[in-house]
Amino acid sequence: MSSHAAPRAARDATSPPGPVLAVDGLSVGYRTGHGTKTAVRNVSFELGPGQVLALVGESGSGKSTIGHAILGLLPVGGRVLSGAVRYQGRTISDLSGDRLRALRGRAISLIPQDPTVSLDPVRRVGPQVEDALRLHTSLDTEARRARVHELFELVGFHHVERRYRQFPHELSGGMRQRVLIAAAVAAEPDVIVADEPTSGLDATVQAQVLDLIDDLRRRSGTAVLLITHDLGVAADRSDLVGVLRDGRLAELAPTASFVRNPRDEYSRHLLDNVPSRLSFTRDRAGRAPSERPEEPAVEVTNLSKHYGGHTAVDDVSFTVPRGRTFSIVGESGSGKSTTARVLTGLTRPTAGQVSVLGTQLGALSTKAFRPLRRDVQIVFQNPYASFDPRFDVLSVVEEPLRSFQPAGSSRRHRRENRDRVAAALEAASLPASFLHRHPRELSGGQRQRVAIARALVLEPKVVVLDEPISALDVSVQAQILELLVTLQSELGLTYVFISHDLAVVRAISDRVAVMRRGRIVEQGDIAQVFERPASPYTAELLGAIAGRRLAHR
């Protein structure tokens, strides 16, 4: 972990004075069917050597478009409408393709968003990094190879010889991102545009990758334009923060003063909705003692699940009291989603006992499980994928009702179902006018509300929430969390909440279990686990939470 307090002023004496990169009144538009849609409006900022500017904003705010415009890599139909991008005082936004290509990689390079698709799957990773050297340096084959080995060491690889010869599919997501970082710094650029460099990576890996970028920046005085949706990352890793909204720069301020005292209202709204600043547990603390004899809603004893030779869940036990929120946190591959699937009867356990509302699941076939589904529902991470593409909102939410009505009686129940669907939508804070809209017309948050309405329409007792807010923007996340908490207190629901995000878990759970490689390494009351983690792994996870600067005002 880098030191957050250290001043991040420019130190590189060799760079020329003045900003390395200046964006001046930049507007970018995309051609659409009827005209031009402006995605970025009149954005200006300057980036000095060794500085980190974080551009934050929600999806569609134009932050990635700015990054692409700087590199001259706007997608088809996009073009710079006005303004200029200057690199060391020279305007580069009107250069021809060839001249720009000479600059790209050597002067300004890109760390792309998705490491899983940004490497050529049929080439070894070493030569892919070497490409940058071949284009921008006069090194011979041997020297290039040696340099790639150096770069791989720089990004923290140990067996550089072996890594050089590996294919992208042999590397994990974090390692692929390191390869891409190696490629980005290969030609020693002055500016790196990092477009969401860690989205999709686990928290501990994210911390490592960001540390690495930080380290490279400090060593060579490279300026970094960090594009991110995560205010925590921005707060921890930048000198300047630029908040984008609808293509406009709402606020541009030094990070420290931005965190302490945001001037713009939208910035304040974003900051207030950061998970580490949310807490819904406080209001419920007083309720706990009054309901003492807690009967369990879900009891899991020695649960294991094997897929062939692979053990996804290994001897897991926990109990969820009625009306409470039990969270399972872990990084990808920790077995948390498999556990959720077992609870909802989508996967059958290999060994162990699972009891939901007093019914033993272990031996139940899919068919025998069906009556229990009335009381146990699930909300998926990606609501849109969990809706039949042909269905409107009414049909989506009505589905569970139809399932428990005799086949062929849908006509008789039409009016009643419609009313119940409308009531469920209302519970999820959606107007009844949404009944006949198609999910594709809705925003991400609205879709997740529809998914929640579907889960609630049968008035279940237990709801399993599998990463329900991971795909949403920060302020929408806060709304959905709030909705979940309200519904829980109104309907007495029991939640099993699956998440990779410790900040979110802390905001809404009563108890938490930390999973790693199929095992629960630690479980306990939320305060105990977060304040005094017993396991070093939990401590490591807690240390990797981005945005600790934000947690305390």
Write out the residues near another protein by the rule CB under 8 A. 272, 278-280, 283, 344-346, 366-367, 370, 373-374, 377-378, 380, 382, 385-390, 399-400, 402-404, 407, 429-430, 437, 441-443, 445-446, 449, 454-455, 458, 479, 482-483, 486
> Nearest approach, Cβ of 169 to another protein (angstroms)?
21
Please, what is the end-to-end C-alpha distance for the chain in angstroms? Answer: 21
Taking the least distance from each CB to another protein, the nearer of 209 and 476 is 476
Q: How many CA atoms lie within 13 A of 360 on its CB side?
A: 7
Q: What are phi and psi of 178, to 5 degrees?
A: -65, -40
CA angle 537, 540, 544 (to 5 degrees): 140
> Nearest approach, Cβ of 512 to another protein (angstroms)?
21
Short-list 46, 202, 177, CA closest to 111: 177
Name the 3-class secondary structure at 129. helix
Q: How far apart are CA 535 and CA 530, in angstroms?
A: 11
Taking the least distance from each CB to another protein, the nearer of 301 and 403 is 403
Taking the least distance from each CB to another protein, the nearer of 91 and 410 is 410
DSSP output for 8-19: -----TTSPSS-
Strand partners, 78: 30
> Nearest approach, Cβ of 388 to another protein (angstroms)?
5
Taking the least distance from each CB to another protein, the nearer of 72 and 262 is 262
Taking the least distance from each CB to another protein, the nearer of 87 and 380 is 380
Tokens matching residue 185: 């710094």
> Nearest approach, Cβ of 209 to another protein (angstroms)?
29
Taking the least distance from each CB to another protein, the nearer of 82 and 410 is 410
Q: How far apart are CA 425 and CA 449, in angstroms?
A: 8
Please check whether residue 518 is in contact with residue 317, taking contact to mean a CB–CB distance below 8 angstroms. no
Please check whether residue 300 is in contact with residue 352, taking contact to mean a CB–CB distance below 8 angstroms. yes
Taking the least distance from each CB to another protein, the nearer of 199 and 479 is 479
Query: Which DSSP helix (H) or strand (E) runs through 227?
Result: strand 223-228
> Nearest approach, Cβ of 482 to another protein (angstroms)?
6
Q: What is the dihedral of CA 360, 362, 366, 372, to 10 degrees?
A: 20
Q: Is 248 exposed, middle or buried (0-12, 13-18, 19+ CB in 10 A)?
A: middle
Taking the least distance from each CB to another protein, the nearer of 29 and 345 is 345
